[in-house]
Amino acid sequence: MHEVLPEGAVIRKLWIGETAKYREHVLRLDPESRRNRFGGAVSDDFICRYVDLSTSLDAVVHGFFIDSEMRGAAELRPLGLRFPRQAEAAISVEKPWQSHGVGSALLRRTLLTARNRGFRLLHMACLADNRRMQQLARKFDAELSFDFGSVVGEVESSRPTPLSLMREMLTDSHGFATAMLDLQSRMLRA
Ligand SMILES: CC(C)(COP(=O)(O)OP(=O)(O)OC[C@H]1O[C@@H](n2cnc3c(N)ncnc32)[C@H](O)[C@@H]1OP(=O)(O)O)[C@@H](O)C(=O)NCCC(=O)NCCS
């Protein structure tokens, strides 16, 4: 899987203990991106509670990191036992990093993760005037059929394959190695 990301950037799953990085990223979103992300204006306090809840649930969060700072996120959250094969996905990228392919890379990772966990339906809340998100979803129409009226995306493949599991494992190990190198160089600098 070849991704063209800005130099020095990495996309990896968030670790336990990195909730603060996620919270800071969401709080930094400009008002329009914040509105698009949450489907309306929300307060800082709402965001703090939202992030705490997300990370305490069974969510998988991928982060886009540059210079150790989290500048983008994709969250995949199962809808629970009553809807066993359904999950909710949401993406956010801070303004200076938008339109650089980051949202596409984050959605690609999220779709792979959803597939490997056997999710059939992905819900994505998207405001009707959010053209960029709609364009982004259209790029993945082979994997995701999107109905902007009902705001439900369908992950078409029902089962993970050895290859899809391997792809997730490989990207995870690359993300882990990069994070370790980053930690090491920060410790050396300190
Ligand atoms: C929607 C969002 C996640 C997209 O992320 P991104 O990093 O900007 O997306 P990409 O750079 O990968 O671009 C994806 C597609 O959007 C379209 N696009 C990019 N810039 C655009 C712009 N300025 N205007 C309209 N469409 C645009 C293109 O079709 C692009 O694909 P291409 O570059 O292959 O042609 C990001 O803009 C964002 O965080 N917005 C605020 C929060 C939000 O709306 N979240 C979605 C609700 S869950």
Task: Find how far residue 57's CA is from the centre of its chain.
Answer: 15
Q: Whose CA is nearest to atom 18 of ligand 1?
A: 132
Dist CA 62 CA 105 (whole Å): 10
- Return per-residue pLDDT of the chain as tens, 190 residues: 557 788 889 999 998 889 999 999 999 999 999 999 998 899 999 999 999 988 777 899 999 999 889 999 999 999 888 888 888 899 999 999 999 999 999 999 999 999 899 888 888 878 878 889 888 888 887 777 666 655 566 776 557 777 778 778 777 777 666 666 666 666 666 6
77 strand-pairing partners: 88
Among the atoms of ligand 1, which is closest to the Cα of residue 72? 39
CB contact set of 33 (below 8 Å; sequence gap of 6+): 92, 93, 94, 95, 98
Q: State the burial class of residue 88 (Cβ atoms within 10 Å of its Cβ: 0-12, 13-18, 19+).
A: middle
Testing ligand 1's pocket by substitution, the residue of 25, 35, 109, 135 carrying the most ligand atoms inside 8 A of its CB is 135
**What pLDDT score was predicted for residue 81?**
84
CB contact set of 127 (below 8 Å; sequence gap of 6+): 35, 36, 39
Testing ligand 1's pocket by substitution, the residue of 99, 133, 134, 140 carrying the most ligand atoms inside 8 A of its CB is 99
Q: How many Å is the maximal CA-CA distance in the chain?
A: 52
Q: Where are the beta strands (DSSP E) in 40-177?
A: 60-66, 69-78, 86-93, 121-123, 144-147, 152-155
**What pLDDT score was predicted for residue 188?**
67
